[in-house]
Structure 1
Amino acid sequence: MYGEILRTLLNRPVQSERDVRIFALRVAMVCFVLAMLADTALQLIAFHGWLNLFRGWAITIFVVALVAYPLGVYIGTTRLEHHRTKTKLNEQSLADSLTGLRSRSSLPVDYDAISDASRLLILVSIDRFKAVNERYGHVVGDRVLIRAARLIAEELANLGRIYRTDGTEFVVLASGCTVAEAKTQVLALLARFESSNFGTLEKPISLTASAGIAEVSQATTFTQAFAAVDAALDSAKATGRSRVCLASEPATPGLVEGDEVVWNSDLPPLPKRGRASRS
């Protein structure tokens, strides 16, 4: 029973400086109780008067304060460093190796962990990025992706965690904001994309991005939520790119050639043809 009490007192997780101080106090308390019990037992076995008993107690208290608490601080700090190292390694294992953003594998877990009644998924995709790789090569393409990821983080990091879910697609898992607020920030992001140079002064690279936003309830599964935001992004791509579409709005189907929308739902339909891959 006593061993279980000690384990309960000393095996609490140490995850902050405050936890270190609490752990040190627990160590000091345990040492104090054990030392006082031992000292009292010895004094009673060979009792030499109350003065000697009180003197022994005072010495015990002094030694415990001088040794046990600093020892507890040292052990607690060691456990805190271990926790921080473990957390850092876990974060690195969940990070995208190119951009440093969180990877897709952690997105469903984080999605399910949010307890808010309403969440937002924001899916941002770089338009026609394949042309960058074909013209400048993949090394330059990777640099452009890194700059694009930084731009997205600068504009949208306050909304929630950001993930790289595909080569040129990024997801923001947001809570605590409205669709209107999120749309305003995403529009500001797309404007920065249009005005930014992702290359060098000698070889400027211009990009645009499209986005979809889906507001999902607590009962909506991640698969359902991602399908909704993915459809919203498809609508943004199909109706001209460099724009934001909401999953709650009716989709406007269309065909795009170059930068021009050559058909939408307000015009007579064109003959069917194969669907091009999203870019």
Structure 2
Amino acid sequence: MTDTVEQTLAVAPPVVGTPAPRRRRRIRELHVHLVLLALLVLVAAVPGLVTWHDPYELDGLPFTAPDGEFWFGTDEIGRDLYSRVVHGLRVSLFSALLAVAVALVGGAVVGVLSGLAPGGPVDRVLGVLTEAVMAIPGVLLALAVITTYGRGAFVAAVAIGIGEATGFARLIRGCVIRAGTLTYVEAARTCGAGPLRVVVRHVVPSVYHPVLSYTALHFGLAMLAIGSLSYLGFGEAPPSAEWGVLIAGGQKYLAHAWWVAIIPGLALTAVVVLLSRIAYLSQEDHS
């Protein structure tokens, strides 16, 4: 009998709470990606740290291929493409941040109000409004806002944020309803805690991780959407260094100066993949 117990303990899984090797690798990878994102934010905030040319000045001959002086080459009028890509990161990243902030704030207000009283009159009214916005294609909604208030990165970001707010609202509503069924939330209500205290102390921590993953994913999608609007001519306009503008301006020179459009496109792809990977890893880490 003793031998059997000892054999069972010998093959028993690790103590709960000790991260498995795969989980530790995911956590390390998530930390690495977050450090990379922090570096990108720093570069976007202070692009002069890593650039030495003015992104709007003519520093070389047109269509100079990438070399030791111009790392990404020059564009059609001789501007340093590396400096333009780095400075364009600020416009693209912070525009996407604004779009996500608008979507998160709007979605949180609607989602929490609906989730606190599911099936009630407030939930029904907000549900109808959310479905009405969702019925409009995101691009069409963005174009309507831009047509009304004018083009530019700010207007494009707000337009994208309004369209994305419905997804945040549905996610947060579901999380709030699920959190409302938890034992400790019901105990807090029984002890006399008011709705605001329940939301702040108990509901918000339970929806934090799903919303964080969703936010990281839609951060990248917002960058793509804003770049697409600029590419189509409804966002930023030349001579802005926004990545969608750079791609649109360089596509006509692909045959003999591929770097003018391809490098900004690769930069946009790399940042979106980084954000998507962060969303995936943060979701797995707390699943």
Q: Same fold (TM over 0.5)?
A: no
Greater strand share, structure number? 1
Higher Cα Rg, which structure: 1
TM-score normalised according to structure 2 size = 0.21
Of structures 1 and 2, the one scoring higher in RCO (CA 8 A, sep 6+) is: 2
Greater helix share, structure number? 2
